[in-house]
Chains A and B, each alone.
Chain A
Amino acid sequence: MSIESPLWEVFIRGQHGTAHRHVGSLHASDAETAMNNARDVYTRRNEGLSIWVVPSNQIIASSPSQKGSMFDPSQGKIYRHPSFYDIPKVVKKI
């Protein structure tokens, strides 16, 4: 095709209770087609119970050039991890 359709990001929820996860992207002319294409391209192997499609240009992404100021300050602050507490045996998952 000479004129490409807009790009959409696809999110799939696999099982009840888990969150939607980003699985990839696709091209589609409108929302309905994007949803159909997402179903056809990303749920062929019984991956999903729910689909979200989002226009890619609606996603606000952090800039790679600001990586330092964005993420460096969180390094070396191990006291932010809950690893200094004894977890009671009755707690199975945390």
Chain B
Amino acid sequence: MSDPRFHLALRMGDNSLILAQQNSKWCGHAPTLEEDIALANVSLDLMGHAQMWLGLAADIEAKGRTADELAFLRDSNEFRNALLCERPNIDFATTLVRQYLFDAWHLEQLGLLCAGADISVVEIAQKAFVEVQYHRQRSSSLVIKLGDGSEESHKRIQNAVEALWPYFGSLFENSDNDHFLFEAGIPELPSSLRKRVVQQLSADCVQSTLILPDSVFWHKGAVQGHHTENLGYILAEMQYLQRTYPSSNW
């Protein structure tokens, strides 16, 4: 039985890393200059979190691996990010809604970790929490405006919510290791956040005029390393350089 904090740090780190990688593809391509910079900022924040979480995972594992090695030298079945993070960008609405759903979960999850007993986890969570407060405010503000915007913007945001919903639940999936988190000072399971987060999203819907799907069918398996095929493409691009020129540095 390995340290449950290792799995927690890996999961937090992988979520941020993969979403950062996905968002960064918009750099230079977003609909407006302001949005372009804002998306890149969010990406960089998440990349910073990934560096801290994977650094912690590497420390706990104590097998001599570094955060960089965890990021660039693992295969897709070793990644523990939620399926939502690896969904393709498709269009701006999908990218925005993916961020919006993620931020709602992320803020609650970090709030939970801030109240934990393990100082190394608490320190990272507190630093990330401040940044994610802004992410949540920004993405919900945009989703509310576009949801309650023109006929076209409403349709695109609503479609994106429906397309991403089956992958959203992946963030709340418990793994076998999570049942040992209590001993590591984390009082609640990932699944316990689901109700609270969905309640918050429902509250936004009053303004956004969006309708959350009532389906509770959610794709599972990411906590065991079962991913959609898209993660393979993401890693192929992200890891190309380290794989082609092992240990290269710049």
Interface residues of chain A, those whose CB is within 8 Å of chain B, are 1, 5, 26-30, 32-33, 36-37, 39-41, 44
Contact = CB atoms under 8 A, between A and B. Distances in A.
Contacts of B33: 26-27, 41
Given A1-B32, A27-B32, A44 B141 contact: no
Contacts of A30: 145
Contact of A36 (B31, B32, B138): B138
Given A27-B32, A33-B142, 11 more contacts: A1-B32, A5-B32, A28-B34, A30-B145, A36-B141, A37-B34, A37-B38, A40-B34, A41-B33, A41-B38, A44-B37
B41 interface: yes
A48 to B, nearest CB: 14
B31 A1 contact: yes
A29 B146 CA distance: 11
A44 B41 contact: yes
A45 to B, nearest CB: 11
15 contacts: A1-B31, A5-B32, A26-B33, A26-B34, A27-B33, A32-B141, A33-B141, A36-B38, A36-B137, A36-B138, A39-B134, A40-B34, A40-B37, A40-B138, A41-B38
- How many of chain B's residues touch chain A, expressed as a range? 10 to 19
A41 B141 contact: no
A27 B30 CA distance: 14
A40 B32 contact: no
Nearest to A41: B37
B93 to A, nearest CB: 14
B23 to A, nearest CB: 13
Nearest to A8: B34
Interface string B106-146: 00000000000000000000000000001001100110010
Contacts of B138: 36, 40
The CB with the most chain B CB atoms within 10 A, among A5, A30, A37, is that of A37
Contacts of B37: 40-41, 44
A22 B37 CA distance: 20
A1 B146 CA distance: 14
A30 B148 CA distance: 14
A28 B138 CA distance: 13
B142 to A, nearest CB: 8
Contacts of A44: 37, 41
B145 A33 contact: yes
A32 B34 CA distance: 13
A14 B134 CA distance: 20
